[in-house]
Amino acid sequence: MLTSSANPRFRVLRDLLKADARARQGLVLVEGIHPVGEVLASAWPVQMLAWSPALLDSSYGRSLVETARARGAEVLELDPRLLAQLAGREHPQGIVAAVHWQPTALEALEPAAQPFLAAIDRAQDPGNIGTILRSIDAAGAHALVLLGDTADPSQPAAVRASMGALFFVPVVRTSWEAFYAWGGAHGYWLVGSSARGAADTAEVLTYPERTILLLGSEREGLTPAQREACDVLVRLPMRGRSTSLNLAVAAGVLLYEIAAKRNP
């Protein structure tokens, strides 16, 4: 069992809390029983798995340790204090994994097989990114496109909020200009979410098969150029005192709304 934070193997894991180390190594740190289970159910390879026998009392969680070991991952036993340093929360579940993960290239998307997309521009909260990934997976959309300086989806907070969806939903990072040109070339309909939207969501009766939901930043929303580029702008009705919803909540509502009204 590793007990020292100076141990080189532990430092490999701890370094993954930093963006530059994640980018350099092509690894993402995943914490928690369900997220690690989802990783092992995906096609992404696990390089290293660390666990603390004192914290991991779930029989399913312990079976994940053996699954990772059988697939050739390096398995480390950690002192609970070291595991807690990696978990980033008050009550860690006793298991973390270092997983090979990379964004998908825009050109790798296949419009015929992936007709329903979501795109976010300049969103800064990694928890929102992870939650939107989870909603994309649940609503049956096919990919998430991150535009501009949107938060890193490999940040621990984003990975945790995605509950494993990061490893099943393709994530693309590109510029607004490149994405707009690509979407137009492939016949996508661009639906912008905006408080200034001309149409209440209930007023839009159908959406085409190839539809992109475009969301702006938490504070500023879509840019004027993006609003102008949209085929339709939609707004969610606010029937109480609140004037807006959290970005991830709004995204979830709109994803299900579009999914119910698409004409595949």
Say whether pLDDT at 233 is over 70: yes
Please state which CATH class domain 8-100 belongs to.
alpha beta
> Which among 154, 93, 144 has a CA at the least distance from the CA of 120?
144
First to last CA, the chain: 54
What residue type is 224 in one-letter code? P
**Sequence-ordered alpha helix ranges (H) in 30-89:** 33-41, 59-70, 80-87
Q: Report yes or no: 83 and 93 within 8 Å, Cβ to Cβ.
A: no
CATH number of the domain at 106-263, please?
3.40.1280.10
pLDDT in tens, 94-134: 999 999 999 999 999 999 999 999 999 999 999 999 999 99
> Which among 204, 189, 259 has a CA at the least distance from the CA of 236?
204
User: What value does the CA radius of gyration of the chain take, rounded to a whole number of Å?
Assistant: 20
pLDDT in tens, 151-161: 999 999 999 99
Q: Which two tokens stand for residue 134?
A: 């989870």
pLDDT in tens, 5-33: 999 999 999 999 999 999 999 999 999 99
Domain boundaries, the chain: 8-100, 106-263
Q: At what angle do helices 33-41 and 59-70 cross, to 10 degrees?
A: 40
Determine how β-strand 116-121 pairs with β-strand 143-147.
parallel
Residue 249 binned pLDDT confidence (cut-offs 50, 70, 90): very high
Location of structure tokens 């535009």: 147
Residue 264 binned pLDDT confidence (cut-offs 50, 70, 90): low
Q: Which two tokens stand for residue 99?
A: 């997983």
